[in-house]
Amino acid sequence: MNFLTIQGINHTYFTKTSMTTALEDITLGIEEGEFVSFLGPSGCGKTTLLSIIAGLIKPTEGEVIIDSQKVTKPSPSIGYMLQQDYLFPWKTIVDNVLLGPAITKTLTKEKKQEAIKLLETMDLQNVDKLFPSQLSGGMRQRVALVRTLMTSPKILLLDEPFSALDYQTKLKLENLVATTLKNFNKTALLVTHDIGEAIAMSDRIFLLAAKPGRLAKTFLVPQELRELEPFDARQHPSYSKLFQSIWKELDSLET
């Protein structure tokens, strides 16, 4: 049985004068520990689908099931990481990271030690007493990931989390995030416009067509790429071959 099941998702946005179908008959299954990406042209409903999986939007039709539980509302078991880090500027880094346990009243001395250790794992040594304004954009995104992991989510939803970063920082963060999620055996869904990023980080790539958003094609990333860190995967011959295949398919959808 799939860890995540997306069954017959249809979603229509209504206004007083119009209706727009954002998603049409999205059905797919994702295994525990799998890293998948959603690619597609603008308007294909990638972010809408992520919001439905997160329980932020109720679909017009269909259902989402995570670990045998139907998603009906937001839950700490579903981590959501956005383009912006949304760290509180008046709180220290460790207090930002411990926001989840503080809200759920599960904050302990052990949790604080766990947070500091996780920051160190993300190459963020000795930053716990600093404030967000004292960190770079890449460091802040790593803090945001640690904050998400501290709630022990069953699944992570990543909505273009690296798009605002410079290219070098983006590549380094891809490596760090991919390695960390594999070590924690976390199931992750990435929305991105970057074909290379999708190939380098994913086990599978779902290509969506637009107007309405629907599943057009699924690409399985070759095993030899999945065994490499994202930066090294980009140098492998299989990477270029898959990139061209996805590019042609995406180009045909847009034209």
Q: Is the dihedral of CA 7, 78, 213, 181 positive or negative?
A: negative
pLDDT tens-digit series, residues 45-77: 899 999 999 999 999 999 999 999 999 988 888
How much is the pLDDT for 170?
87
**Region 21-44: what's the mean pLDDT?**
92
Query: Judging by beta carbons within 10 Å of its beta carbon (0-12, 13-18, 19+), is residue 242 exposed, middle or buried?
Result: buried
Where are the domain boundaries for CATH 3.40.50.300 in the chain? Answer: 4-77+154-254
**Region 201-221: what's the mean pLDDT?**
94
Rg (CA), the chain: 19
Residue of higher predicted confidence among 245 and 163: 245
Report the amino acid identity of residue 86: Y
Band the pLDDT of 255: cuts 50, 70, 90.
low
What is the share, in percent, of the chain residues with pLDDT greater than 90? 53
User: Phi and psi (nearest 5°) for 32?
Assistant: -65, 135
Q: What does the alpha-carbon distance between residue 60 and residue 211 come to, in Å, rounded to a whole number?
A: 16
Residues contacting 177, CB < 8 A, separation 6+: 145, 158, 161, 201
Instruction: For residue 78, list its beta bridge partners.
Output: 155
Parallel, antiparallel or unpaired: strands 4-14 and 19-30: antiparallel
Residues contacting 17, CB < 8 A, separation 6+: none
Helix 137-149 to helix 167-183 angle (10° resolution) is: 20
**Which of these, 207, 186, 208, 228, lies nearest to 44 by C-alpha position?**
208
How much is the pLDDT for 177?
86
36-45, 158-167, 209-218, 240-249: which range is least confident on average? 158-167
For 165-170, the CB contacts below 8 A with 24+ separation are 165/137, 165/138, 165/141, 166/137, 169/136, 169/137, 169/138, 170/138, 170/197
SS3 at position 91: coil
pLDDT tens-digit series, residues 111-157: 888 888 889 888 888 898 999 999 988 889 889 989 988 888 889 99
How much is the pLDDT for 219?
97
SS3 at position 61: strand
**Region 201-224: what's the mean pLDDT?**
94
What is the share, in percent, of the chain residues with pLDDT greater than 70? 100
How much is the pLDDT for 58?
94
Parallel, antiparallel or unpaired: strands 61-66 and 69-70: antiparallel
Q: What does the alpha-carbon distance between residue 134 and residue 66 come to, in Å, rounded to a whole number?
A: 37
How much is the pLDDT for 166?
85
Any idea what the Cα angle at residue 97 is, between residues 95 and 98, rounded to 5°? Answer: 65
Q: Which CATH architecture has domain 4-77+154-254?
A: 3-Layer(aba) Sandwich (3.40)
pLDDT of residue 36 exceeding 90: yes
pLDDT of residue 22 exceeding 70: yes
Q: Is the dihedral of CA 136, 141, 147, 152 positive or negative?
A: negative
Q: What is the mean pLDDT of the chain?
A: 90
Tokens read off for 16: 């007083």
Neighbours of 201 (CB within 10 A): 28
